[in-house]
């Protein structure tokens, strides 16, 4: 899967010119994403795929906030696959998370 490029378009739209609100949203993403990624990875390693799906569900909203439309669609499908006990696209989802983290370190 070709990864799409994260952007701040949606955050800027939500903030509507409020720089403090924009900074607050970005700070929340920077704080929560690494923790949610770690929890997701642990649940997959433990083969607790229902829990993994719940983590993907939470993370997919952050994917959307960063304007990653293809990745969001992927996350929806991957969440369902995990609910059915199928983690085979784990590496692709991990690439999406790493893409997001890399972007967040640059802003």
User: Each residue of 3-57: pLDDT tens digit?
Assistant: 899 999 999 999 999 999 999 999 999 999 999 999 999 999 999 999 999 999 9
The pTM of this model reads: 0.92
Whether 65 is covered by a domain: the verdict is yes
The total domain count for the chain is 1
Separation CA 72–CA 59 (nearest Å): 9
Whether 1 is covered by a domain: the verdict is no
Separation CA 67–CA 85 (nearest Å): 28
- Domain carrying residue 33: 9-106
Cα of first residue to Cα of last residue in the chain, in angstroms, is 25
Whether 3 is covered by a domain: the verdict is no
- Residue 2: the pLDDT is 84
Whether 48 is covered by a domain: the verdict is yes
Task: Report the SS3 class of residue 59.
Answer: helix
The torsion region of residue 16 among left (phi > 0), alpha (psi -120 to 50) and beta comes to left
Whether 16 is covered by a domain: the verdict is yes
Give the sign of the dihedral formed by CA 76, CA 98, CA 85, CA 54: negative
Residues 73-86 have a mean pLDDT of 98
Q: Which two tokens stand for residue 65?
A: 């906030």
């Amino acid at each position: 899967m070709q990864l799409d490029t994260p952007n701040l378009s949606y955050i800027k739209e939500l903030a509507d010119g409020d720089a403090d609100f924009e900074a607050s949203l970005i700070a929340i993403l920077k704080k929560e994403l690494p923790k949610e990624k770690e929890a997701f990875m642990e649940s997959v390693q433990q083969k607790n795929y229902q829990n993994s799906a719940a983590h993907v569900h939470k993370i997919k909203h952050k994917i959307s906030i960063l304007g990653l439309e293809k990745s969001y669609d992927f996350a929806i499908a991957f969440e369902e696959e995990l609910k059915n006990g199928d983690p085979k696209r784990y590496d692709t989802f991990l690439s999406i998370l790493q893409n997001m983290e890399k972007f967040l370190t640059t802003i």
